[in-house]
Chain A
Amino acid sequence: MSDGRSNDRVDGYAAALVEVARAEGSLPQVENELFSLARAFESNDELREALTDQSLPTARRQAIVENLLGGKASPITVSLVSFIVVAGRARDLPAIIDRVVERAAAERKHAVAEVRSAVPLDARRRQKLAKALSTNLGLDVEVKVIVDPSVLGGAAVRVGDTVIDGTVRHRLDELKEGL
């Protein structure tokens, strides 16, 4: 029941963000910037604690967002993130952004493949990976790359509930379990 309400809320915020970005005519850019922010939010504990700390004044949290994204993201992206933080939903920020990306991709009849790699992938490899995934899954797939040094090497792909893990980290974990 609570999960249902939470999902509805996340869907509602995601729909609102998509509509605003589309109205501004910058949905692809906002989508990419939000995706990068969501990954930073997940990997940075200090940032997550600062934005979710309800004891901090709203203006202080909003200033943190502006300082973090100012000059690195479009004003519409900064405004949308500030809106979510001021609304007290910073804890749901990654889920809302993932839903935004999914909605945007769905509008393009595409599925989103979240790829984690230790190194940034060039456009050729992105296209090759998107093609391989599209062939493998039978879907048109858009690749969103997250640079994550903790995977050590290789890459891992998550499309919806499907995960394909070819990272060195995963192999080390398997080796650890085997030992």
Chain B
Amino acid sequence: MLMRARAVIFGSAVTGVALLAAAPAAWAQATPTTQKLTHVNEECIKLLESGQDVSACQQAPNPILPATNELIWGSLSFVVLFFLLRRFAFPAIRNGMNARAERIRSSLDEAERAKTEAQSILAEYQAKLADARAESARIIEEARQSADKLRQDLRRQAEAEVAASKQRAQEEIQASVARATADLRASVRELTLELAEKVIQRNLDRETNFALVDQFIDEIAGART
């Protein structure tokens, strides 16, 4: 970069010097009054000496065609200037232009890359956003399904508990009825037996008792025979 700047400065300096060198010719062209008149005189003199008519001197010069020396000096200055410019300024200018083009190209590439990257990030962001929306929708759906399932489970559980409670209540009622029936039956049995015992005690006199003992003895004796 520094070398390129130096080349540009040097090229500019050479161009300046060349222009300064060409300045006298230009100046000479800018102040042509006296010199041009002299030149015309000289040309007229030459024409007269060569036997031309004086009218030849009175022909107006071509207003477009410059003088020969001006052509020479101008061409020479042009060649020198062209050479100097080609030798020093053009490479620097070309390098600068190339560098600038390269920078612009780099910037464009960078911008393109940034744009691509931004688009990629945008696409990624949009994809993530879509994923997030899908995920949120899925979570909401799952939560809704879980809530439905939980509600159904709770309902089933409540129904089962109610059924179990009803079953238990029925079983308890049946058990209570069975217990009451059994207790009643036992009470009746006890009362019956107590009554029978009392009746037996009242009616079982000594003789009857002896008769029972005799019967018992006979049964023992009879069991053998």
Contact = CB atoms under 8 A, between A and B. Distances in A.
Contacts of B192: 179
Given A152-B204, A153-B200, A125 B221 contact: no
Interface string B190-225: 001100110011001010111011111111110110
A153 B204 contact: yes
Interface string A159-173: 000001010100010
Contacts of A20: none
B87 interface: no
A123 interface: no
Contact of B189 (A125, A129, A153, A179): A179
A119 B212 CA distance: 11
Contacts of B218: 132
A119 B210 CA distance: 8
A139 to B, nearest CB: 12
A22 B208 CA distance: 40
B110 to A, nearest CB: 106
Interface in B71-87: none
Interface string A135-169: 11000000000000000111101000000101010
A117 interface: yes
A168 B189 CA distance: 16
A172 B193 contact: yes
A118 interface: yes
Interface size class of B (residues with CB under 8 A): 20 to 34
B152 to A, nearest CB: 54
Given A118-B209, A153-B209, A172-B193, A125 B214 contact: yes
A109 interface: no
Contacts of B206: 119
A121 B219 CA distance: 17
A132 B220 contact: yes
B216 A166 contact: yes
Nearest to B186: A179
B191 to A, nearest CB: 11
Nearest to A133: B220
A168 B212 contact: yes
Given A153-B200, A172-B197, A119 B209 contact: yes
A152 B201 CA distance: 6
Interface in A86-126: 117-119, 121, 125
A23 interface: no
A175 B190 CA distance: 11
Contacts of B196: 172, 175
B209 to A, nearest CB: 5
10 contacts: A118-B209, A119-B209, A121-B213, A129-B217, A132-B224, A136-B221, A153-B200, A153-B204, A168-B204, A172-B200
Interface of B: 185, 189, 192-193, 196-197, 200-201, 204, 206, 208-210, 212-221, 223-224
Given A125-B213, A133-B220, A154-B216, 9 more contacts: A118-B204, A118-B209, A135-B221, A136-B221, A166-B215, A166-B219, A172-B200, A175-B193, A179-B192
